Amino acid sequence: MASRTIAGKQVQMNDEGFMTDPNEWNKEIAVEIAREEGIADLTLTHWKVIDFCRQDGLSSGKAPTLRRITTQAGISTKEMFTLFPKGPAKKVAKISGLGKPEGCV
Amino acid sequence: MIETMTPTLTKMAVVPEMVVTPEETTRKLAFICSKGTLDMAYPALVMGWAALGNGIDVTIFFTFWGLDMINKARIDHLEIAPVANTSMKMTMMGVDTGNLGIPQIAGVLPGMTAFATKLMKDKMEKLQVPTVREYLQMLVDAGAKLYACKMSVDMMGLQKEDFVEGVQDIVTAADFMDMTDGAQIIFI
């Protein structure tokens, strides 16, 4: 476990680059992590997914899987792979300040 | 001796490193699906989905009975038979009998395969596991490339129109070798 300064704020992160305390998250941090993940601009649709993940993640205590995002947030699998290429659920979880999504589907 | 070496080392350290950045290579997985039973349809779907979720390229090649997984007429009717399946126990039918297997003689009775299939499908539905058709569509939407084996297609008298959307082509074994260059191959 290490701490890092992102967007001027000190946050706790694990070895895989996931924040360990979702309460340390803010929107500036999301923008910064997204940039590191190769997403230069977060559009409204990106935010729709991030907002869903934040809500779902905070209420359930775990990051939603890709299947959960597509069935619950009304975003198709295709769209998810366009918005967050190469591993959408993991990427969006990182950007949303949540842990690594678990589950086989 | 040490004193004379130190300045040399310091000088070396400030020389800018020649960093050769290799082109980013993507890990590739290729599955060969050769079985048409319900239980053997899922491994490639589950692992393929996990791979795509990790940014890994996925190619699936369907051969022999595996073609049932992409055949429009068969995809929703994959089954699991209790006959010769030593892992299928009475307990799966809700009878608390430990390791007692389903008697082979019972397995051959009409309707037993349909019954076992229903049990498995119900269990998966409860766990919210998508059906084979839905799973395959998810994989295609996520960028998986699906191909049918030419020899098997010819042998079973099928055509490209017989397959679900997302099957890109009917290819030979040699084509498969070309398209999976550098990939890790999983045979199911």
Provide the residue range defining the domain that includes B172: 28-187
Provide the residue range defining the domain that includes A91: 2-95
Task: Summarize the confidence of residues A94-100 as an average pLDDT.
Answer: 93
Task: List, in order, residues 6 or more apart from B151 with CB less than 8 Å away.
Answer: B63, B172, B173
- Could you write out the DSSP letters of every residue in A31-96? HHHHHHTT-----HHHHHHHHHHHHHHHHHSSPPPHHHHHHHS---HHHHHHHS-SSHHHHHHHHT
Give a yes or no: residue A104 inside a domain. no
Q: Residue A85: list chain B partners with CB under 8 A.
A: 55
Number of domains chain A is built from: 1
Sign of CA dihedral A43, A45, A49, A55: positive
Residue B10 reports pLDDT greater than 50: no
Predicted confidence band of residue B19 (pLDDT cuts 50, 70, 90): low
What interface predicted TM-score (ipTM) does this complex get?
0.86
Give a yes or no: residue A45 inside a domain. yes
pLDDT over 70 for what percent of chain B?
87
Give a yes or no: residue A102 inside a domain. no
Task: Summarize the confidence of residues B45-51 as an average pLDDT.
Answer: 95
Give a yes or no: residue B2 inside a domain. no
Distance from CA of A6 to the nearest CA of B (A): 24
pLDDT in tens, B95-130: 888 888 888 888 888 998 998 899 899 999 998 899
Of B26, B46, B54, the CB nearest to A104: B46
Max intra-chain CA distance, chain B: 91
Predicted confidence band of residue A3 (pLDDT cuts 50, 70, 90): confident
Bridge-based pairing of strands B145-149 and B184-187 is: unpaired
Of A66, A76, A78, the CB nearest to B53: A66
Which residues of A are marked as active site?
104
Give a yes or no: residue A100 inside a domain. no
Residue B23 reports pLDDT greater than 70: no
Give a yes or no: residue A101 inside a domain. no
Cα torsion for B62, B66, B72, B75, to the nearest 10°?
Answer: -130
Q: Residue B54: list chain A partners with CB under 8 A.
A: 87, 90
Give a yes or no: residue A105 inside a domain. no
Give me the pLDDT at residue B95, please: 82
Number of domains chain B is built from: 1
Does residue B25 or residue A74 have the better pLDDT?
Answer: A74
Does residue A75 or residue B17 have the better pLDDT?
Answer: A75
Q: What CATH number is associated with residue B160?
A: 3.40.1260.10
